[in-house]
Amino acid sequence: MKSRITGLLFFFTLLSNPKAFSQRFLMDLVDTTNQMGRGMLSIYERYNRVRISGYIQPQFQFISKKGAETYGGGNFSAQASNRFMLRRGRLRVDYAHLNEHNDPTSYFVFQFDGTERGVAIRDFWGRFYENKFKIFALTTGMFARPFGYEINLSSSNREAPERGRMSQILMRTERDIGVMLTVTSRHSIEWWQKLKLDVGVFNGQGMSGPTDYDSHKDIIGRFSLKPFKNNALGGATISAAVSGYAGGITSQSPVLYRTKANVGEYAMVRDSSASNYLKVAPRNYAGADFQISFPNKKGETEFRLEYIRGDQTATFASSETPGVYPVTNGTKDPLYVRNFDGAYFYFLQHLGSLEHQFVLKYDWYDPNKRVSGMDISEARGFNKADLRYDTIGMGYVYVANESLKFTFYYEFVRNEKSALKGFEADAPDDIFTCRVQYNF
């Protein structure tokens, strides 16, 4: 009994650290090797290792044009330029099983998201821990993909209201169904114990579709350096990682489109070779991220950056990974392969205390690196899915207490000028978000 109480006090102490609480990843939130949840000590015996938590995010938004398209919470209705909405309403249940030595043996999680638009599953997975070497863990079910930093940072702890355009396009809903092996030590004394490897196999389309539409599976991996304090840099906390994604979509049409040089100019070129049928069109990404925070007298100054590039397969109208295989009038549509890159940069500064924080973020996403500006035209087979977007976001976060947070955030969204109708100049889609978050 004494060992169990000691272990639970350790978990409680970790979660009481404001920095650890504000930067947890989707999968780390329920990692029994480092945190069990606030208040677990008091309910441990009474509820037999079960924890219930959740949060809601009611918000008001204003956009610069009625009916504008946005990645700031979904497109606006045709005659609306402002709206109240419940962005997220999460209810989560965690269950942990410990053996007689107080070691975690298994973990189970399910989480639902309820809004005015309906109810959906967000997490439904289990994790098995080996306890001989205390290095390996196996996760199966529906859970967050192990790629990048922003994609895995929980929506309840993220400073900006939404993930960036690139993150949403490449990894819509962040989660997928599959299996993942985690290799990392449960201790953090030696340098090698600060390393972590996650490798998983997934369906590929994630939760954006009802079922897997081909047999091809995607392999995703992330090799990371867990946060550690560097005294040589004034006690700065540093973390970093590299990520890889090797996947694709099986073409159910004999036609594929790629951006290639055609008579000295780049165009979207049609390839109607019979060998394209059942060929795997690539979704291959490579990324790297880095985070560093410097302690102040009251708070922190933090910088984050992440860069991703690769090949993305999608459709003519969008570079977003399709949730269902595209079909028009009963005929399978051709797939479009584009070479992309993108990045984001965060600057976070506490304003005299941990309760007040200034947020500055810049991100870009270029879905087709081979063309730009006036070369993007309908005559060459391009459309708005090939436009580069740059976004600058500025905001203020006020944490009233551990259960109440206010966010005020404005995004300046700029698309590149092109020869496409409606995008000869920047389309008006700047957006302001005022959000209140309640959590327990």
Domains of the chain (ranges; CATH) run 2-439 (2.40.160.10)
Task: Quote the mean pLDDT of the chain.
Answer: 89
Query: Computed over its alpha carbons, how large is the radius of gyration of the chain?
Result: 23
| C-alpha dihedral (309, 311, 313, 318), degrees to nearest 10 | 40
Cα–Cα dist 291/240, whole Å: 6
pLDDT (0 to 100) of residue 187:
81
Mean pLDDT of 325-353: 96
> Which class for 323: exposed (0-12), middle (13-18), buried (19 or more C-beta within 10 A)?
middle
- The pTM for the full model equals 0.88
Top-confidence residue, 16 or 56: 56
Q: Is the model's pLDDT at 313 over the cut of 70? A: yes
C-alpha closest to that of 67 among 435, 434, 428? 428
C-alpha closest to that of 439 among 404, 411, 393, 400? 404
Ramachandran assignment for 49, one of left (phi > 0), alpha (psi -120 to 50 degrees), beta (any other): left
Q: Is the model's pLDDT at 35 over the cut of 70? A: no
Residue count of the chain, please give it.
440
Residues 328-366: b if buried by 16+ CB within 10 A, e if exposed: eeeeebbbbbbbbbbbbebebebeeeeeebebebbbbbb
97-156 residue pLDDT tens = 888 888 889 999 999 999 998 999 899 999 999 999 999 999 999 999 999 999 999 999
> Which class for 189: exposed (0-12), middle (13-18), buried (19 or more C-beta within 10 A)?
exposed
Cα–Cα dist 166/363, whole Å: 8
Q: What count of Cα atoms within 13 Å lies in the side-chain half-sphere of residue 412? A: 6
